[in-house]
Amino acid sequence: MKTTKHFRKPAKTFIAAAVTLLSTIVTAAAPALADSYKSFPGSMCHGTDSSSEAKLSRGYLYIYNGDSSQYAYVVCPIVRGAPGDDDGTTSGPSSLVYVNKGNSQKMLCGLIGDWPAGGGFSYQEGTTIAQGTTYISIPKIAKRNIYAIFCSIPPKSSITGYYSFFK
Protein backbone atom coordinates (compact mmCIF):
# COMPACT_ATOMS: atom_id res chain seq x y z
CA MET A 1 0.00 0.00 0.00
CA LYS A 2 2.77 2.40 0.85
CA THR A 3 4.35 1.91 -2.58
CA THR A 4 1.08 2.66 -4.38
CA LYS A 5 0.55 5.83 -2.37
CA HIS A 6 4.02 7.12 -3.30
CA PHE A 7 3.43 6.14 -6.91
CA ARG A 8 0.16 8.14 -7.20
CA LYS A 9 1.66 11.50 -6.26
CA PRO A 10 4.33 11.53 -9.03
CA ALA A 11 1.78 10.13 -11.50
CA LYS A 12 -0.72 12.90 -10.70
CA THR A 13 1.99 15.53 -11.08
CA PHE A 14 3.07 14.03 -14.40
CA ILE A 15 -0.51 13.88 -15.71
CA ALA A 16 -1.19 17.49 -14.65
CA ALA A 17 1.99 18.66 -16.38
CA ALA A 18 1.17 16.66 -19.53
CA VAL A 19 -2.38 18.06 -19.73
CA THR A 20 -1.08 21.61 -19.29
CA LEU A 21 1.59 21.13 -21.95
CA LEU A 22 -0.78 19.49 -24.44
CA SER A 23 -3.46 22.16 -23.99
CA THR A 24 -0.82 24.83 -24.67
CA ILE A 25 0.34 23.03 -27.81
CA VAL A 26 -3.22 22.52 -29.09
CA THR A 27 -4.12 26.16 -28.44
CA ALA A 28 -0.98 27.44 -30.19
CA ALA A 29 -1.57 25.18 -33.21
CA ALA A 30 -5.25 26.07 -33.59
CA PRO A 31 -6.06 28.52 -36.39
CA ALA A 32 -7.21 31.96 -35.31
CA LEU A 33 -10.94 32.22 -35.88
CA ALA A 34 -11.32 35.89 -35.04
CA ASP A 35 -10.66 38.65 -37.53
CA SER A 36 -7.36 40.43 -37.24
CA TYR A 37 -7.82 44.08 -36.43
CA LYS A 38 -5.62 46.89 -35.23
CA SER A 39 -6.68 49.97 -33.29
CA PHE A 40 -4.74 53.22 -33.09
CA PRO A 41 -5.16 56.49 -31.20
CA GLY A 42 -5.75 59.58 -33.33
CA SER A 43 -2.55 61.03 -31.88
CA MET A 44 -0.56 58.73 -34.22
CA CYS A 45 -1.65 60.91 -37.17
CA HIS A 46 0.70 63.63 -38.44
CA GLY A 47 0.26 66.68 -40.64
CA THR A 48 1.09 66.11 -44.29
CA ASP A 49 2.94 69.45 -44.47
CA SER A 50 4.18 72.23 -42.17
CA SER A 51 1.06 74.34 -42.74
CA SER A 52 -1.22 71.52 -41.55
CA GLU A 53 1.11 70.57 -38.69
CA ALA A 54 0.95 74.16 -37.35
CA LYS A 55 -2.86 73.92 -37.01
CA LEU A 56 -2.81 70.63 -35.10
CA SER A 57 -2.60 69.83 -31.42
CA ARG A 58 -2.35 66.38 -29.86
CA GLY A 59 -3.55 64.73 -26.72
CA TYR A 60 -2.71 61.19 -25.72
CA LEU A 61 -5.53 59.76 -27.83
CA TYR A 62 -6.52 62.42 -30.36
CA ILE A 63 -5.33 64.94 -32.92
CA TYR A 64 -7.26 68.21 -33.14
CA ASN A 65 -7.45 70.94 -35.80
CA GLY A 66 -7.70 74.10 -33.71
CA ASP A 67 -7.85 76.47 -36.68
CA SER A 68 -11.11 78.41 -36.93
CA SER A 69 -11.41 78.47 -40.73
CA GLN A 70 -8.99 76.13 -42.54
CA TYR A 71 -8.73 72.39 -43.01
CA ALA A 72 -5.69 70.45 -41.78
CA TYR A 73 -4.46 67.41 -43.71
CA VAL A 74 -3.09 64.36 -41.91
CA VAL A 75 -1.69 60.91 -42.61
CA CYS A 76 -2.35 58.11 -40.13
CA PRO A 77 -0.10 55.03 -40.37
CA ILE A 78 -1.45 51.49 -40.21
CA VAL A 79 0.93 48.98 -38.67
CA ARG A 80 0.20 45.53 -40.06
CA GLY A 81 1.54 43.68 -37.06
CA ALA A 82 2.70 40.11 -37.46
CA PRO A 83 3.48 38.90 -40.96
CA GLY A 84 0.57 36.84 -42.16
CA ASP A 85 -2.19 39.07 -40.74
CA ASP A 86 -3.74 39.05 -44.17
CA ASP A 87 -2.62 35.57 -45.30
CA GLY A 88 -5.34 33.66 -47.07
CA THR A 89 -7.07 36.81 -48.30
CA THR A 90 -7.07 38.59 -51.62
CA SER A 91 -8.05 41.93 -50.13
CA GLY A 92 -6.45 44.43 -47.82
CA PRO A 93 -8.07 46.07 -44.81
CA SER A 94 -11.18 48.14 -44.35
CA SER A 95 -11.16 50.94 -41.78
CA LEU A 96 -13.22 53.01 -39.39
CA VAL A 97 -12.10 56.50 -38.37
CA TYR A 98 -13.70 57.93 -35.21
CA VAL A 99 -14.06 61.70 -35.25
CA ASN A 100 -15.46 64.54 -33.19
CA LYS A 101 -16.66 67.27 -35.54
CA GLY A 102 -17.27 70.82 -34.37
CA ASN A 103 -19.20 71.86 -37.50
CA SER A 104 -21.10 70.48 -40.48
CA GLN A 105 -18.25 70.80 -42.99
CA LYS A 106 -17.37 67.65 -44.91
CA MET A 107 -14.62 65.44 -43.51
CA LEU A 108 -13.03 62.99 -45.94
CA CYS A 109 -10.73 60.08 -45.13
CA GLY A 110 -9.12 57.78 -47.66
CA LEU A 111 -7.50 54.41 -47.09
CA ILE A 112 -4.53 53.76 -49.35
CA GLY A 113 -2.46 50.66 -49.90
CA ASP A 114 0.81 50.73 -51.81
CA TRP A 115 3.16 48.14 -53.22
CA PRO A 116 6.46 50.03 -53.55
CA ALA A 117 8.07 47.46 -55.84
CA GLY A 118 5.92 48.52 -58.79
CA GLY A 119 2.69 46.75 -57.81
CA GLY A 120 0.63 49.94 -57.82
CA PHE A 121 -1.73 51.29 -55.20
CA SER A 122 -5.34 50.80 -54.13
CA TYR A 123 -7.62 53.51 -52.70
CA GLN A 124 -11.08 53.83 -51.12
CA GLU A 125 -12.62 56.75 -49.24
CA GLY A 126 -15.43 57.66 -46.91
CA THR A 127 -16.94 60.97 -45.80
CA THR A 128 -19.21 62.49 -43.19
CA ILE A 129 -20.91 65.83 -42.69
CA ALA A 130 -22.45 64.81 -39.36
CA GLN A 131 -21.64 67.04 -36.41
CA GLY A 132 -20.47 65.72 -33.03
CA THR A 133 -19.01 62.29 -32.32
CA THR A 134 -19.33 59.97 -35.31
CA TYR A 135 -17.23 57.73 -37.56
CA ILE A 136 -16.25 57.36 -41.18
CA SER A 137 -16.43 53.88 -42.70
CA ILE A 138 -13.95 53.09 -45.47
CA PRO A 139 -14.49 49.96 -47.63
CA LYS A 140 -11.86 47.26 -48.21
CA ILE A 141 -9.02 47.95 -50.58
CA ALA A 142 -6.87 45.55 -52.60
CA LYS A 143 -4.16 43.64 -50.76
CA ARG A 144 -0.93 45.63 -50.69
CA ASN A 145 2.22 45.91 -48.58
CA ILE A 146 2.02 49.36 -46.92
CA TYR A 147 -1.21 50.97 -45.67
CA ALA A 148 -2.17 54.44 -44.40
CA ILE A 149 -5.20 56.67 -43.94
CA PHE A 150 -5.23 60.26 -45.22
CA CYS A 151 -7.83 62.67 -43.79
CA SER A 152 -8.87 66.27 -44.25
CA ILE A 153 -9.87 67.52 -40.79
CA PRO A 154 -12.29 70.47 -40.79
CA PRO A 155 -11.78 73.40 -38.41
CA LYS A 156 -12.46 72.69 -34.72
CA SER A 157 -12.63 68.92 -35.33
CA SER A 158 -10.55 65.91 -34.30
CA ILE A 159 -9.69 62.28 -34.99
CA THR A 160 -10.06 60.30 -31.78
CA GLY A 161 -9.04 56.88 -33.10
CA TYR A 162 -8.99 54.60 -36.11
CA TYR A 163 -9.31 50.87 -36.71
CA SER A 164 -8.16 48.65 -39.55
CA PHE A 165 -9.78 45.27 -40.13
CA PHE A 166 -7.80 42.58 -41.94
CA LYS A 167 -9.67 39.43 -43.12
Is pLDDT above 50 for 60?
Answer: yes
Position with higher pLDDT, 18 vs 81 = 81
Same structural domain, 3 and 67: no
Is pLDDT above 80 for 6?
Answer: no
Q: CA 19 → CA 98, 103, 134, 139, distances in Å?
A: 44, 59, 48, 44
Same structural domain, 19 and 40: no
Summarised one tens digit per residue, pLDDT across range 16-58 is 554 444 444 433 433 443 457 889 999 999 999 999 999 999 9
Summarised one tens digit per residue, pLDDT across range 101-115 is 999 999 999 999 888
Same structural domain, 91 and 18: no
Is pLDDT above 60 for 161?
Answer: yes
Which domain, by its residues, includes 2?
A: 1-30
Question: Residue 119 maps to which CATH number?
Answer: 2.60.120.1620
Same structural domain, 25 and 48: no
Same structural domain, 77 and 7: no
pTM of the model: 0.74
d(CA 159, CA 62): 6
d(CA 158, CA 131): 11
